[in-house]
Structure 1
Amino acid sequence: MRKGTKRKTTHKDAPPEKPPAEEQKNEPSPSPSRADEDNYLQDRTGDAEHQPEPSNKVAAKGRRKRAKVSKPETEAEYFPEKRNLEDLWQQVFPVGTEWDQLDMVYQYKWNFSNLEDAFEEGGELFNKKVYLFGCTEPQLVSFQGQGKVTMIPVVVAVVSPFPPSDKIGIKSVQRETEEILPMKQMKMDWVPYIPLEKRESQVERLKKSQIFILSCTQRRAGLKHLKLERVKKFEYCLPYFYQPLQEDELEQSTVVQILYPIDPKPVFCEFDWELDELEEFTDKLIEEEELPADQKEPFKDFVKEKVREAKKANREAREARKKALTEMSEETRTAFENMRFYKFYPVSTPDTPDVSNVKSPFINRYYGKAHRII
């Protein structure tokens, strides 16, 4: 025998070899003894003090769990299904509303179902390309028996094959000059509105969108990082519109806004260069103690300069209009001729103030009046 090898030994008392798996298949497996079961369970718990309950109690526990699962379910709670365009009016940015007044706009659950219905078959906006912008109108209205100044949200719909404008006007009585800026400079743009039923759609499917809204990406939380003048610009914004076909029919204004900057109080007034005589106009301001006497000549020079600027702006506007009309295609001309403005006010409900008596067709100084109020 070689060193390092083991000799195979046999024992007379060794148990017989196990039969093949096929033969074992039909033989009943021997049940474990009570001692074996206790040892197994003790090994599972690792602690003699945490012995499991007898098998009949375990079964009882199992039965109790099954009984708990089989308890009758509580009655399902149902919520009203949201309308497809229900949040459309909320998605439209209320242009020109003061930031600290926005919460007042949304303090009521305004109902714009009339706007939603307009997009249904038979409605004013059905199957048309529409551009929407919002604004607010502070009005004294009655609600629950009390009169209260309320910020009423309004939605203006412009039916047009192309965006009515890509510019924003900035003008107020506090501002000396009027500015016409690109929308994007004020973080605004026309974006497709996605109805609720299509919120999960791919972006490619939105290219056929017929509803566009004026949106603003400026967030209130970021205002604290902006200069006050920049913040105020948002509050003075007005959606801008230029209608070259109607400009010839409108008489250009001969009035200039005057904001003469002197201490302690600036002089604010309007001067009409066709109706007002500058010498008399200035003397009247001095007489009313609105202007110091020693500021008479500087004030007159200031007004003359503003009149020159206004006349130049009018002249340039006329020239630009003539050029635009000359270069305008027939398709664009037809689009301007068929362009329509609709002004939507919220529908009266028991939960909101009644605004039916304060509706006005006027939109703003650029758009003029709406073709229809709804």
Structure 2
Amino acid sequence: MRKGTKRKAKAEPKAKPEEDQKNEASQSPAEETNSEGPSRNAELDPSRGAAGKAGRKRAKVAKPETETEYFAEKRNLEDLWLQVFPVGTEWDQLDMVYEYKWNFTNLEEALEEGGELHDKKVYLFGCTEPQLVPFKDQSKVTMIPVVVAVVSPFPPSDKIGIKSVQRETEEIVPMKQMKMDWVPYIPLEKRESQVEKLKNSQIFILSCNQRRAGLRHLKIERVKKFEYCLPYFYDPLQEDELEQSTVVDLLFPIDPKPVFCEFDWELDELEEFTDNLIAEEELPADQKEPFKNYVKEKVREAKKANREAREARKKAREELSQETRKAYKDMKFYKFYPVPTPDTPDVSGVKAPFINRYYGKAHKVI
């Protein structure tokens, strides 16, 4: 009998009485999760308690407690200055321009609601100014990025000037010849917009699609042309106020070396000028007359070019509409420098109104 009793005791957990099974089946979920809580239910049923513990452990792993990360919201025009091509900057110095995280919030604020340039059509081009400026108790030559804003109802020019002290002549060429053009700037909040929605853009930037990686396939002369570029501007209303040059560049081709010099037909007397070159052994004595004839021809060519340019400008002024005349009179140039920050050099001491030889001085420096 004792052996039977033992077998019966072991079998009881596996086969519960029919009445107990019915009672468990009829028990509601609300009764299972009574006021005593899950731990009490686990106590009553060891198998459910183990499952509950495992469930609680999984819940902790699935929903770990983490600190909320906050990212600074990007400003709508934050990358504007980066999109503007720094015209005339040497290719191997471009990395120096972006060495610091420059701040142009002054430009952004001027273009946003309440700003001086808000709701005006503006054309932006960039340039760089190497200056010796202090930063963290040191002074070094820094490539300072500058953005020029031209307020105008139409593009200020579709041409680029190519000129440097190393080049004898000056070229005025179409922008597209140097892979440059005015393109609409798309603010961050409109980057997902369709192109049709950008037709009324008010901000245009001078862009260049010449890739640095492709420079190795270009001739050195072509590469240097990019570095000598200057944004070109011509105001037909102010041309009368500008004096035309009376200087001609001379390159007299003789052996063993050519004669390089400048001749001003208003200030220099040809006979004396030539004798001085001979005395300085820059010109052989037997080349005196050929050289004088060469200078006279160059002066005639320069005077003719000045006369034709003057007549062309006069004709262009006469053909200007009243609307275009007003646009030129109202055109304004703004020059923006980076705002001082703890992470960038303070450039406030080197600000200057001069833009370039074509644009002259800015109406306002910011």
Give the TM-score normalised by the residue count of structure 1. 0.79
Which residue of the partner structure matches residue 176 of structure 1? 168
CA deviation map 1:82-109 (0-9, x unaligned): 1111111111111111101111111111
Which residue of the partner structure matches residue 362 of structure 1? 354
Which residue of the partner structure matches residue 222 of structure 2? 230
Q: How far off is 1:167 after superposition?
A: 0.6
Q: How far off is 1:297 after superposition?
A: 5.1
- Distance, in Å, in 1 between the alignment partners of 2:258 and 2:344 is 42
- Distance, in Å, in 1 between the alignment partners of 2:223 and 2:140 is 27
Query: 1:149 is matched by which residue type in structure 2?
Result: V
Pair 1:60–1:311, CA change in 2 (3 A): same
Q: How far off is 1:62 after superposition?
A: 6.0
- Distance, in Å, in 2 between the alignment partners of 1:299 and 1:369 is 39
Q: How far off is 1:348 after superposition?
A: 1.6
Pair 1:360–1:281, CA change in 2 (3 A): farther
Q: How far off is 1:172 after superposition?
A: 1.1
Alignment of 1:16-27 (within 5 A): none
Which residue of the partner structure matches residue 134 of structure 2? 142
Establish whether residue 70 from structure 1 lines up as the match of residue 63 from structure 2: yes
Alignment of 1:135-214 (within 5 A): 135-214=127-206
- Distance, in Å, in 2 between the alignment partners of 1:308 and 1:328 is 30
Pairing partner for 2:90 from 82, 86, 98? 98
Alignment of 1:117-128 (within 5 A): 117-128=109-120
- Distance, in Å, in 2 between the alignment partners of 1:140 and 1:355 is 9
Query: 1:147 is matched by which residue type in structure 2?
Result: S
- Distance, in Å, in 2 between the alignment partners of 1:264 and 1:69 is 87
- Distance, in Å, in 1 between the alignment partners of 2:157 and 2:58 is 68
Which residue of the partner structure matches residue 39 of structure 2? none
Establish whether residue 330 from structure 1 lines up as the match of residue 322 from structure 2: yes
**Equivalent pairs: percent with the same residue?**
82
Which residue of the partner structure matches residue 107 of structure 1? 99
SS of residue in 1 equivalent to 2:312: helix
Pair 1:366–1:61, CA change in 2 (3 A): same
- Distance, in Å, in 2 between the alignment partners of 1:370 and 1:102 is 24
Q: How far off is 1:171 after superposition?
A: 1.0
SS of residue in 1 equivalent to 2:350: coil
Pairing partner for 1:80 from 52, 72, 82? 72
Pair 1:358–1:69, CA change in 2 (3 A): same
Q: Which runs of 5+ in 1 are unaligned?
A: 1-27, 29-53
Query: 2:322 is matched by which residue type in structure 1?
Result: E
Which residue of the partner structure matches residue 352 of structure 1? 344
- Distance, in Å, in 2 between the alignment partners of 1:87 and 1:263 is 55
Pair 1:119–1:300, CA change in 2 (3 A): same
Q: Which runs of 5+ in 2 are unaligned?
A: 1-21, 23-46
Q: Please, what is the CA RMSD of the aligned residues?
A: 2.6
Pair 1:174–1:282, CA change in 2 (3 A): farther
Alignment of 1:56-67 (within 5 A): 64-67=57-60
SS of residue in 2 equivalent to 1:357: helix
Q: How far off is 1:271 after superposition?
A: 2.5
- Distance, in Å, in 2 between the alignment partners of 1:266 and 1:192 is 48
Q: How far off is 1:332 after superposition?
A: 0.7
Q: How far off is 1:292 after superposition?
A: 5.7
Pairing partner for 1:316 from 308, 330, 346? 308
SS of residue in 1 equivalent to 2:347: coil
Establish whether residue 89 from structure 1 lines up as the match of residue 72 from structure 2: no
Pair 1:299–1:217, CA change in 2 (3 A): farther
Moved more, 217-226 or 326-335: 326-335
- Distance, in Å, in 2 between the alignment partners of 1:263 and 1:77 is 75
Establish whether residue 219 from structure 1 lines up as the match of residue 177 from structure 2: no
SS of residue in 1 equivalent to 2:349: coil
Which residue of the partner structure matches residue 28 of structure 2? none
- Distance, in Å, in 2 between the alignment partners of 1:79 and 1:121 is 24
Larger % of helix: which?
2
Query: 1:228 is matched by which residue type in structure 2?
Result: I
SS of residue in 1 equivalent to 2:76: coil
